[in-house]
Structure 1
Amino acid sequence: MASWVALGRDLADPILCAEVDQAGADLVSSLVSGGTLLVVGNGGSAAIASHVAAEFIGKCIHDRDPLPAISLAESLSSITAVGNDYGYEHVFTRGLAALGRPGDVLLAMTTSGTSPNVVAALDLAREREIRTIAMTGSRGTMLRGRADHVLVVPSDETPRIQEVHMLWAHAWCEAIDVLSSLDAHVAHR
């Protein structure tokens, strides 16, 4: 519990909060402009990627129109086919090349910051003018410069890092739900 208390204090850092807010604002701006959210991650981060995409397609706290979101970690057939035919480091770049367009957002999660398939996806996204948000842990600071936004959880404990990644994604989705709810309320006046 002491590690959570310390992490909670660290997460309240005004600079980190501003970075998370700016990444969320860019994500919202992309979606409002017709962009799609593409999410990648391995293992537990793949599960979070699926969860995040579902929250945007469905709802988080308020009913609203669905938003375009795709987890590139979702299709076992695609991942194993690409992994077998091209190598595991390409499992996200192939999907990103097929589905990503300029103006979209790639949300890439890697607790270590060194997952070759996630780093390759970030590099391809930058080449294709797709906005990038990388969420990582304290060992992933080398991602700075590889993504438009690099959000570093100040921890090296994988469970804590993944929990914070989910927290940040939920915060963005809840903000969209609240804004949509307010817009609907104003429109009905």
Structure 2
Amino acid sequence: MTHAEQAALGGAAEIARRHADARADWVRLAAALAEPGLVGAVDAAGAAVMAAVGGGHTVLVAGNGGSAAMSSHVAAEFAGRCVRDRDPLPALSLAESSTSLTAIGNDYGFDQVFARGVRAHGRPGDVLIVMTTSGSSPNIAAALAVARERGLVTIVLTGVRGAQLAGHADHLLVVPSDYTPRIQEVHLMWTHAWCEAVDHVWAR
């Protein structure tokens, strides 16, 4: 066997090991996610989303990086649909417009990009969902502060490092992990569950 073939086999074995580790990680995480207190917290946040949507309020979503992409995804699920056809519901990702983000960031500082969005679009009774794996993003903290001042329902999705945000939101959902990919995957799972619930209630 050539050196190149040995290297290829070794690389394949390493990839297989990483996949096995990821599966084991998910098994451990799934058990933690089934803890009754966390399940109840996720259900309570989902109920708040359902109540707001049912009252004709808007869902605002925000996040940085991969969480920005997910915020756009989640807003699209409400404005479009997730699994069943229904009328569109008002939802907006505050991370969607590069024009707004760069204008606000340039004029007011990057820590204000979401806070200004909340001031522009948020009304009492609306919901602000923020996703932050670290829980330490200044622009997320600023958005939460403005949202609470204006009477929005606030929901934080974070990882174990974001537990310090307790007291800064109405609902704090902590994924019991410090690994960014797993945290983001769970955030998407939770928000998808809420979107599916909305679809089933308001389906045509």
TM-score by length of 2: 0.88
2:124 matched residue in structure 1: 102
- 88, 113, 116: which one pairs with 2:110? 88
2:49 matched residue in structure 1: 27
Per-residue CA deviation, residues 140-162 of structure 1 (Å, 9 max, x unaligned), is 00111000000000000000000
1:127 and 2:113 matched? no
Counterpart-to-counterpart distance in 2, 1:119 and 1:166: 21
Counterpart-to-counterpart distance in 2, 1:48 and 1:36: 17
Total equivalences in the alignment: 182
Counterpart-to-counterpart distance in 1, 2:194 and 2:52: 13
* Unaligned runs of at least 5 residues, structure 2: 1-22
1:110 maps to amino acid: T
1:70 matched residue in structure 2: 92
2:85 maps to amino acid: D
Counterpart-to-counterpart distance in 2, 1:58 and 1:157: 31
Counterpart-to-counterpart distance in 1, 2:123 and 2:130: 16
- 156, 173, 179: which one pairs with 2:195? 173
- 120, 138, 148: which one pairs with 1:116? 138
Per-residue CA deviation, residues 43-93 of structure 1 (Å, 9 max, x unaligned), is 000000000000000110000011100000000000001101110000001
TM-superposed deviation, 1:178: 1.2
1:149 and 2:171 matched? yes
2:25 matched residue in structure 1: 3
Extract structure 1 runs of 4+ deviating beyond 3 A: none
Counterpart-to-counterpart distance in 2, 1:114 and 1:12: 26
- 164, 171, 176: which one pairs with 2:186? 164
TM-superposed deviation, 1:2: 1.1
* Unaligned runs of at least 5 residues, structure 1: 185-189
* Higher CA-based Rg: 2
Per-residue CA deviation, residues 8-28 of structure 1 (Å, 9 max, x unaligned), is 100111110000000000111
2:159 matched residue in structure 1: 137
Counterpart-to-counterpart distance in 2, 1:60 and 1:37: 15
Per-residue CA deviation, residues 103-149 of structure 1 (Å, 9 max, x unaligned), is 00000110000100001101110111110000000110011100000
- 41, 56, 62: which one pairs with 2:78? 56
Question: SS at 2:157's partner residue?
Answer: strand
2:126 maps to amino acid: D
Counterpart-to-counterpart distance in 2, 1:125 and 1:95: 10
1:9 maps to amino acid: A
TM-superposed deviation, 1:180: 1.9
1:79 matched residue in structure 2: 101
Question: SS at 2:37's partner residue?
Answer: helix
